[in-house]
Structure 1
Amino acid sequence: MPELLCKRLGQVDYLPTFEAMKTLTDERDDDSADELWLLQHPRVFTQGRAGKAEHVLAPGDIPVVQVDRGGQVTYHGPGQWVIYLMVDVKRRGLGVRALVDVIEQAIVKLLASYGIEAAPRAEAPGVYVGADKIASLGLRLRRGCSYHGLSLNVDMDLEPFSRINPCGYEGLQVTSMARCLPQQTLDMDRVGDSLLAALAAELEQASAGTRAGVCR
């Protein structure tokens, strides 16, 4: 099994990153390493393939980008960690549902390490603290490989979520780690590194009878 590469890209614009994901997916072969990209984006709304215009309420000065992942509209911005998963799911013996489970469980375990009780919902992909959504996910599979991934609200301005119906759900409330932990100062880099480690561990455990390699 080729190694698992973890790349920390800092804050990067959405569109070039989207194009880079597609290029990597199109050009990779059976021996290519899987990659996890940890990053943040400047403020942007992204609308999935099945996205309905009525879920974008009042974007204002924030651009709306049409993308090829599943799901409806979501928001990315500073203070939110995003991880994109360029994973050969066929090689790992995983299906889409299994990969979604890997992502959700990694987020749940990361949040638990900070004392935040969270859980996924079968009817609405993502991770929730009570009724409030704290993490979103959306994937695309092409040539047996995934791209796009997850976003976790750490310490960010949540106002832009009021300009959309998050993930297509009218009235859905959104929260963040900072809102759940008002007395605690969060170290963004530490949260990001811990999320990467949790995701790599879950991916290794779920891969069918193989070691997924060390995230480095």
Structure 2
Amino acid sequence: MTLRAVASDPGASNVQIRWLGCAEYEPTWRDMQSFTDTRTDADADQLWFLAHPPVFTLGMNGKHEHVLAPGDIPLVQIDRGGQVTYHGPGQLVVYPLIDVRRLGIGVRDLVVALENAVIAFCAERNVTALGRRDAPGVYVNERKLASIGLRIRRGCSYHGLALNVSMNLEPFRRINPCGLAGLQVTDLEAQGIALSVQDAARQLAPHLLRELGLSDASTWV
């Protein structure tokens, strides 16, 4: 599925793409909230690409019973949907700060667009990946490759997508990923795709822009 921008202002579908490197989780979360709360109808959408130091995050209605043995990794309860997931080095995190009203889409459309971008990225590399209606995210051979959790506020999205690139997957065994006991996870490296997190960001970006119906005249800042 490809979504088309319907904004009356032709420039409104432009997007700024930001590479933030490795950024602490909580300050980044607060920055997303601040951007969402202060943006105007004239502001361009943004895609933030980054990685986080090790952290577990639990959705606002998440159940602590799915956090099995966090050990020395901090747990942060946040304001997205979904259950518990893990972020850490070697994982690409994408935060789409999108005016969904301007695009004329709903939250399910946004989830599917994010999934389809990862699926297309994998298909280019001869890896078959799939989405699941009952458990949002992207899967390869029933192992989770990418997780999705979103929040819509003031008609705009934040939080987003976490794609496992080349990482230590052990912390996922300390939780029930996305609230699913026994769910196995994987990363791109295990599928024979060798990329740095930053290279994965640059190569995934065109797929995200296409699936979201955002202008390909984007700028990296």
Same fold (TM over 0.5): yes
Please, what is the CA RMSD of the aligned residues?
Answer: 1.1
Shift of 1:198: 1.1
Q: Give the TM-score taking structure 1 as reference length.
A: 0.93
Distance 1:101 1:88 in 2: 16
**1:196 is matched by which residue type in structure 2?**
A
Secondary structure, counterpart of 2:98 in structure 1? strand
Distance 2:172 2:199 in 1: 25
Secondary structure, counterpart of 2:65 in structure 1? helix
8 Å CA contact 1:127–1:136 kept in 2: the answer is yes
1:6 corresponds in structure 2 to 17
> Runs of 5+ in structure 1 lacking a partner?
205-210
Secondary structure, counterpart of 1:81 in structure 2? strand
- Counterparts of 1:118-133 in structure 2, within 5 Å, are 118-133=129-144
1:61 corresponds in structure 2 to 72
Q: Measured at CA, do residues 60 and 105 of structure 1 come closer, stay the same or move farther in structure 2, by a change above 3 Å? A: same
Q: Give the TM-score taking structure 2 as reference length.
A: 0.91
Shift of 1:161: 0.1
Farther-moved stretch of structure 1 (195-204 vs 87-96): 195-204
8 Å CA contact 1:38–1:196 kept in 2: the answer is no
- Counterparts of 1:52-131 in structure 2, within 5 Å, are 52-131=63-142
Match of 1:192 among 193, 201, 205: 201
Shift of 1:24: 0.2
**2:59 is matched by which residue type in structure 1?**
G
8 Å CA contact 2:139–2:146 kept in 1: the answer is yes
Shift of 1:192: 1.4
8 Å CA contact 2:81–2:150 kept in 1: the answer is yes
Secondary structure, counterpart of 1:49 in structure 2? coil
**1:193 is matched by which residue type in structure 2?**
R
Percent identical across equivalent pairs? Answer: 52
Secondary structure, counterpart of 1:65 in structure 2? strand
**1:215 is matched by which residue type in structure 2?**
S
Farther-moved stretch of structure 1 (94-103 vs 153-162): 94-103
Distance 2:46 2:198 in 1: 19
Match of 1:155 among 166, 178, 182: 166
Distance 1:68 1:185 in 2: 33
Shift of 1:212: 3.8
